[in-house]
């Protein structure tokens, strides 16, 4: 049975769908700028399940101040208070894979 220490405790972590123990991200790679493949492995040695998951851009909440004219992504605007509440509730996780990593190196915007 999973215990408190075997359950996911960080945003972005998943439970094994079979035994419900914490799963570890083994690797990930960007497919396109809005889609990343993530491979997980169950931390329960008695289980050992591994699987692939996906992180997908659903829609924007606030338009970019520096939009790329080649990018056309769906936007679902929210009022400012809703966005500020969602940002305040979100926890930063330095180990979280970044959806917008530029394939092969840092993004041109970060340079």
Residues that bind Zn ion (CB under 5 A): 16, 18-19, 42, 44, 47, 49
Report in angstroms how near the CB of residue 10 gets to Zn ion at its nearest: 18
Sign of CA dihedral 17, 6, 54, 51: negative
Report in angstroms how near the CB of residue 38 gets to Zn ion at its nearest: 16
In angstroms, the CA 47 to CA 21 distance is 9
Report in angstroms how near the CB of residue 18 gets to Zn ion at its nearest: 5
If the CB atoms of residues 28 and 40 are measured against Zn ion, the closer one turns out to be: 40
If the CB atoms of residues 19 and 99 are measured against Zn ion, the closer one turns out to be: 19
In angstroms, the CA 22 to CA 13 distance is 7
Sign of CA dihedral 67, 70, 72, 73: negative
């Amino acid at each position: 049975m999973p215990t408190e220490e075997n359950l996911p405790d960080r945003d972005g972590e998943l439970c094994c769908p079979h035994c419900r123990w914490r799963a570890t991200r083994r690797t990930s790679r960007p497919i396109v700028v809005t889609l990343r493949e993530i491979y997980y492995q169950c931390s329960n040695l008695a289980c050992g399940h591994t699987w692939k998951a996906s992180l997908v851009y659903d829609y924007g909440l606030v338009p970019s101040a520096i939009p790329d004219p080649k990018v056309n992504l769906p936007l679902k605007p929210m009022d400012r208070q809703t966005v500020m509440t969602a940002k305040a509730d979100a926890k930063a996780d330095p180990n979280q894979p970044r959806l917008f990593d530029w394939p092969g190196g840092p993004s041109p915007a970060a340079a």
